[in-house]
Structure 1
Amino acid sequence: MATIKDVAERANVSISTVSRVVNGTATVAAAKRDKVLQVMAELKYQPNSAARALAGNKTGMLGIVANDLADPFFATLLKGVETEARQAGMQVLAACGHHDAEQEEAAIRSLLSRRCDALIVHSKDIPDQQLLDLLSECPVAVVVNREIPEIADRCIWFDNLAAGYMATKHLLAQGHQNIAWLGRNQNITDNVDRYIGFCNALGQAGIDHNKAYKAFGEATVEGGYQLAYELIRSKSEVTAIMAYNDAMAAGCLRALHELNYKLPDDCSVMGIDDVILGLVVYPQLTTVNYPVEDIGRTAVKKALALLADQQLEMTNHFSPKVVIRGSVASLRKSVLRKSGS
């Protein structure tokens, strides 16, 4: 039996193009549409009935696939999605994928089975082609925090490499050179890109990143807490900690407080994400802003435009910026004070 992938390959178009022709959810150039229809006839392709039902009968439901809704990052993403969806009169269904390919696929299929009109998908573990095949069963799907060339117009992503670079550059600008990296223990692109940014910034400053202390654990408050304890026991000369995210950074601050560190003078801590958690720790967290709520709202706007077969000009790419609060001290100012200058 022919699949949508077979049709796409024979017609020399993307799977998303075939899906649009089948479901009539977006405009397709006449030549491409005719070619797809011809190939469908040749292969006797039968479109997925569930997908066709989704296209023809609106339920007013918007599905979102996230990693873990208990994580402040994903809670903020959901807030943006729910706010925008509610204004459009839609209800939101959420399912968690836990950065695991099988669970991500199960989450997507669960939302499809509930006949959601559109999906907002945060998936890190499913390979591109497999994800494209899955999403072809949904009339409209917008992918966040990931760029897939075949559906680039339906992807919204954040420059994680620049975020890691900018965060480390900020620490270097404050005079820190012995900087530790505390990363997550899952090899997702966010973690890899942020670490590459960290290494690039050190390299530009003439510091060998291979000699920098680095450790990996759960990307949670508890994970950061445990790693910070291990760090202080083995590398007490570290003057700053670059954490993968704000949750880990908050855990670092807690551990340093328990070890009687004067913060931020004895050790600076930097995060990435700029979630609400950074405002309730002490000192408040210096971090890199990831406009995750805006990304959630933008994803819904894009999905609604696609559902209405409208063209909507909006950014697909969000850039980071440093947010300065109180958890990073300047070693340069400290040296000036000690010298009496």
Structure 2
Amino acid sequence: MATIYDVSVLAGVSLATVSRVMNNNTKVSDKTKEKVLNAMEQLGYRPNTIAQSLASNRSNSVGVLVSQLDGPYYGPMMTEIETALRTANKHVIIAAGHSVESQEKEGVEFLMSRGCDALILDVEAVDDAYLIKLLQGTTPIVLINRYIEEVKDFCIYLENELGGYLATKHILSHGHTAIAYISGPKFKLDAQDRLLGHQRALKEYGLEFDEQLCFEGDFKENSGSEAMTRLLDVKQIDNNKNFTAVVCANDQMASGAIAVCLDQGMKIPEDLSFVGYDNIPFPQYISPKLTTVNNPIHEMGKMAAFWVLKNVYSDPKACVENTFIPQLIVRESATSPSKQ
């Protein structure tokens, strides 16, 4: 079995130079690097990553804990994290917490047991106190899609309350005064913040929040369909609940809600206006194209990776932005009630 010494002899360089090439050190010239890589290929040499980890006290792996592995929301985030870290010759180990406290804690313990150099956590069920204590440990941790004032420098987050405000203000600016709301799971902080923004916009326009026109979903299409069916039932039973617009806490629920309306022969936005949240890809290709609030989760994923590269691996080129501001994306799904 070939050794690093055999590589150095065949390439005609020192052991230190071979080590620098294996660690992608920029101080090695391209010509020398090519000689070493050719020698490694000829000898069939593969670096012993366990030995490298023991020598450097680094595993060159980063643990990523997300709420779920499917859907159009988390995929772009994980892709950006993996791409940024792989470009720096680091690898990711992914676990899912499924928005369950015990599973999130198990995921954290699992990733720590793998010797990860750092953790990127997208968690929803564990409380702030648990995360603050975790951040006091020896493993560097950055939180994504979560804001805790005491540890804000370790948070990559979106101003969700502002996003909820922008979505509803857009509907209000069209002249709507009877507005239904489909919320995300209310135990989730982002759903709470979006609802608070919705309520702030209503208050600004002198309108009261109507609990009977608010239904809680789970951020999936089916729950949007179920909430819309119940809202239409309320509208049919009580003429005073004749809402003309629906604000949805994410695009997936908006898509499910719109599907119910279309199945009943309604026209959007002629019969009912809609606005969503997240700006995931597919609602911009349906008819009507969905007005929404941009949630740059892919950029937040990249920033979390950059945070690790900067604070753990001392990469001077990694610039980190902690706070993201939501933007309204106006398309075709909302109009004034006079045109309905």
Shorter chain as denominator, the TM-score bin is 0.7 to 0.9
Query: Taking structure 1 as reference, are residues 280 and 257 closer, same or farther at Cα in structure 2, changes over 3 Å only?
Result: same
Quote the residue 2:194 is aligned against.
194
| 1:89-238 to 2 correspondences below 5 Å | 89-210=89-210, 213-235=213-235, 237-238=242-243
2:321 matches 1:327: no
Query: Taking structure 1 as reference, are residues 234 and 159 closer, same or farther at Cα in structure 2, changes over 3 Å only?
Result: same
- The percent identity for this pair of structures is 31
Deviations 1:54-112 (A, max 9, x none): 99522222221111121321122112212212222222221111222111111111111
Conserved? CA contact 1:119–1:138, under 8 Å: no
Q: Between 308-317 and 58-67, report the one with greater CA deviation.
A: 308-317
| 1:1-341 to 2 correspondences below 5 Å | 57-210=57-210, 213-235=213-235, 237-309=242-314, 313-332=319-338, 334=339
Q: For structure 1, which runs of at least 5 residues remain unmatched after alignment?
A: 1-52, 336-341
Q: CA RMSD in A?
A: 2.1
Conserved? CA contact 2:310–2:319, under 8 Å: no
Amino acid in the other structure paired with 2:288: P
Inter-partner Cα distance in structure 2 for 1:154 and 1:124: 16
Quote the residue 1:5 is aligned against.
none
Inter-partner Cα distance in structure 1 for 2:158 and 2:94: 22
Conserved? CA contact 2:68–2:97, under 8 Å: yes
Structure (1 or 2) with the larger CA radius of gyration: 2
Conserved? CA contact 1:250–1:277, under 8 Å: no
Deviations 1:129-154 (A, max 9, x none): 21233344453211111122343212
Conserved? CA contact 1:181–1:241, under 8 Å: yes
Count of residue pairs brought into register by the alignment: 282
Inter-partner Cα distance in structure 2 for 1:91 and 1:313: 20
Amino acid in the other structure paired with 1:75: G
TM-score for both structures, normalised by structure 2: 0.77
Q: For structure 2, which runs of at least 5 residues remain unmatched after alignment?
A: 1-52, 237-241
Amino acid in the other structure paired with 1:160: N
Q: Secondary structure at the match of 2:210?
A: helix
